[in-house]
Amino acid sequence: MRNLLRTFIFVTLVVAMAFSAQATEGTKNIIVFISDGWGYSQLDAVAYYNGERNEYETSAEWTALGMTNFMYHLGTEYPPYGGDGFVGIYGYDPDQAWSDWYYQQNYATDSAAAASAMSTGEKTYKGSICWSVDGEPMQNIMEYAESLGLSTGIVSSVMLSHATPAAYRAHNEARGNYAEIAQELAQNTDLSVVMGAGHPNYDSNGEWDPGIPGDPGDWKYVGGYEQWQELEAGTAGGDWPWTLVEEKADFEALADGTLELDRVFGVAKVGYTLQHDRTGYPDYNEPQAPYEDPFIATVPSLETMTAGALNVLGGNEDGFVLMVEGGAIDWAGHGRAMERHIEEQNDFDAAVEAAVAWVEANSSWDETTVVVTGDHETGFLWGEGVDPENPDTWFTPLQDNGPGNVPGFYYYSAPGDDWQNPSGSAGHTNMVIPFFVRGGGADLIASYADESDPLYGEYLDNTELGMACFDLLYYAVPVENPGQPSETPVAQLALEQNHPNPFNPATDISFSLPRTGNVRLEIFDVQGRLVRTLVDGTMGQGTHSVTWTGETNNGARAASGTYVYRLTTDSRVLSKTMALVK
């Protein structure tokens, strides 16, 4: 059955039918931390160097899971990710993952598709910024939060319009349209906080390097030259203008509460990343010691940005959603740079600690949910000495060389199928990645982890994180807020497995709605083509059942094969597969 998943368009998403009392109430604050590019070996590397593990790894207050991150392949990506013509969702096979050295190195997602899945609850293609395979914008969690009157914010250690921060609020068919994305963030959202790198007048060492007004490339990360002028003038943002923050001292004042603002567009005075791209970058797979190259003194840390963002967002008593990305952890993986990885992960972990301190000082764990995870693994990081021809050497763990020493390591992935290319940057993988959650929504999120990996245990899919976040906000919204139903929620949104399955000539599809709303129930073939629309309209709260008799929209009989049925509501999309036999 797992092999059949490779032909499915949408991953089968199994939804738990019962809430704990705590989860039913929802949580009004959601903070999602994304360590872009991390995996279990990356966590080991930092723990060995530091001589201890982080609280989210060791404390019983945190729930530890895994998360899959595969994307929808259009069949046009370079090999081995789709250049062979594969179309659809390849998936993750937990048995094959540990019996084939090359399996986890193929069919990997990119950050845009992964973050879009995490923010919308729906799979999409490489490079998509909340843009569906059908060419339509997909609602993300921050849009939904804003519609409910909550505040929203994005923070990153890389360019503020890069893939992961963009995918938590913007919409674009291609992640490389940085200027368009930054324009949407600044002009067409109700975001309260945007913070990151990508300053047009500074280089990667934080030194003055003014952009040329006539060169669009110099201004793309901040939305173009004209938008930058408006940001500097304090006129960008229309009736609710942004306050541009650039100085390290101002970021620190936001963090300690001495500077109070209600809308912040923060651009650190540095080029692509806060610290990762500074002078002194090591050669590939070189065990250079962290912190030997001086940090850029004029640039705030991710920890400082996070604390400042929380102080801004925390002013909304109704709640907020914040996404914080350690974006350069991925860059260190691509560069096979353990030194920079340890530095970047430590800054990311300090940002998590800042959020924990904020929750305990200004909120509570009942009303706040904190997720710490990634979007994919980068580099296929393992210990030294792996021989792909010798299975006894596969998946060799990193060597612990003691606190203060870089562990024994090697990044084994590379672009295309040349995994051992010593001169190429390392690529993404299709591994299960670490996932930690604490707070009022932890039980609900954990209820989605219904699959198990032989090495890492129970895991959920990245789309299921998106689904859970929608549900957490839905159940937390006060009755008087827009979008809240008059009915008392009695069940979670659910799509049942069709019965019978396989079937001929007819099958019943049941689903439950926690509130009245717009609903579409559609049937697709394995190529993504619409076969039949069964429901398209408003339906009431409760359980419904619809019969498909195997006919297409034009009245013809559908051929034998695998089909996907998809339920689309105002907030989420659920999909399952079924088989028609003749």
Report the CATH number that the domain containing residue 501 is assigned in CATH.
2.60.40.4070
Cβ contacts of 392 within 8 Å, gap of 6 or more: none
Q: Which of 426, 447, 476 is the last residue of a domain?
A: 476
Are residue 449 and residue 532 in the same domain, yes or no?
no
**Residue 266 and residue 376 in one domain:** yes
Least Cα distance to 529 among 564, 557, 498, 500 occurs for 564
Which has the higher per-residue pLDDT, 115 or 489? 115
In a domain, 488, yes or no: no
Q: Is there a single domain that holds both residue 426 and residue 501?
A: no
Does some domain include residue 554? yes
* Higher pLDDT, residue 448 or 403: 403
Label residue 5 by pLDDT band (50, 70, 90).
Answer: very low
pLDDT of residue 9: 30
61 and 35 share one domain: yes
Residue 342 lies in a domain: no
The whole-number pLDDT of residue 477 equals 63
What value does the mean pLDDT of the chain take?
A: 89
DSSP string of 18-84? ---HHHHH--SEEEEEEETB--HHHHHHHHHHHTS--HHHH-TTSEEEEEE---EE-S-SPTTSSTT
Q: Are residues 412 and 300 in the same domain?
A: yes
410 falls within a domain: yes
Average pLDDT over residues 255-262: 97
**Residue of higher predicted confidence among 265 and 514:** 265
Domain extent, residue 575, equals 494-580
Q: Are 373 and 438 within 8 A, CB to CB?
A: no
**Rounded-to-integer distance, Cα 526 and Cα 353, Å:** 45
Domain CATH for 247: 3.40.720.10
- What is the number of structural domains in the chain? 2
How many alpha carbons fall within 13 Å on the CB side of residue 342? 24
**pLDDT band for position 182 (cuts 50, 70, 90):** very high
Mean predicted confidence (pLDDT) in 315-329 = 97
Final residue in a domain of this structure, among 441, 476, 511 = 476
- Residue 564 phi/psi, 5° resolution? -115, 130
Same domain (yes/no): 438, 499 = no
Q: What is the mean pLDDT of residues 180-202?
A: 98
Q: Residue 486: inside a domain, yes or no?
A: no
**Rounded Cα distance, 277 and 501, in Å:** 54
Could you give the CA distance from residue 384 to residue 397 in angstroms, rounded to a whole number?
8
Read off the pLDDT of each residue in 515-535 and give the average, rounded to a whole number: 86
Weakest-pLDDT range from 7-16, 146-155, 333-342? 7-16
- Do 30 and 83 sit in the same domain of this protein? yes
Query: Residue 478 has what pLDDT?
Result: 54
Number of Cβ atoms within 10 Å of the Cβ of 263: 17
Strands 457-461 and 451-453: antiparallel
Which among 476, 503, 523 is the end of a domain? 476
Residue 397 and residue 536 in one domain: no
- 432 belongs to a structural domain: yes
Least confident interval from 42-51, 469-478, 518-527? 469-478
The verdict on 15 and 91 lying in the same domain is: yes
The residue type found at 37 is G
Q: Calculate mean pLDDT across residues 408-418.
A: 75
Same domain assignment for residues 113 and 86: yes
126 and 164, same domain (yes or no): yes
Instruction: Give pLDDT, residue 228.
Output: 98
| CA separation for the pair 559, 553 (Å, rounded) | 13
- Give the separation between CA 382 and CA 394, rounded to whole angstroms: 9
Across 510-529, average pLDDT: 84
End-to-end CA distance of the chain: 19
Lookup: tokens for 152? 């929203």
pLDDT at 111: 97
Extract the tokens encoding 214.
């006539």
Residue 121 lies in a domain: yes
| Residues 520 and 568 sit within 8 Å (Cβ to Cβ) | yes
* Residue at 505 is within a domain: yes
Rounded Cα distance, 178 and 502, in Å? 46
Q: How far is CA 58 from CA 46, 61, 99, in A?
A: 14, 9, 29
pLDDT in tens, 270-295: 999 999 999 999 988 999 999 999 99
What tens digit of pLDDT does each residue of 47-61 get?
Answer: 999 999 999 999 999
pLDDT > 70 in the chain, percent: 89
In whole angstroms, what is the distance from residue 369 CA to residue 213 CA? 43
Shared domain for 462 and 500, answered yes or no, is: no
Question: 474-507 pLDDT, tens per residue?
Answer: 877 654 444 444 344 434 678 899 999 999 999 9
